[in-house]
Amino acid sequence: MLYYKHLMVLNGEREYALHFNESDALSDAQRNYVEAQYALFREWYAQWSADIRDGH
């Protein structure tokens, strides 16, 4: 659940940064992983949508 909430925060949905339990948090490794995967997805999506837009 925290993984997906962090994705929402990365996508600009700041209200998902709040947790029911203050002690809930991703580990550094988990946070680094989700941020790296999100960056890869954003790069892929930008390229894919440009290809679609340009008719490739």
Q: What residue spans define the domains of the chain?
A: 2-53
How many Å separate Cα 11 from the centre of its chain?
6
Cβ–Cβ under 8 Å, residues 10 and 38: yes
For CA atoms 19, 20, 23, 27, give the dihedral sign.
negative
* Predicted TM-score of the model (pTM): 0.81
27: phi then psi, degrees, rounded to nearest 5 = -70, 165
Cβ–Cβ under 8 Å, residues 25 and 14: no
How many Å separate Cα 47 from the centre of its chain?
17
Over the stretch 1-55, which tens digit does the pLDDT of each residue have?
Answer: 999 999 999 999 999 998 889 899 999 999 999 999 999 999 999 999 998 888 8
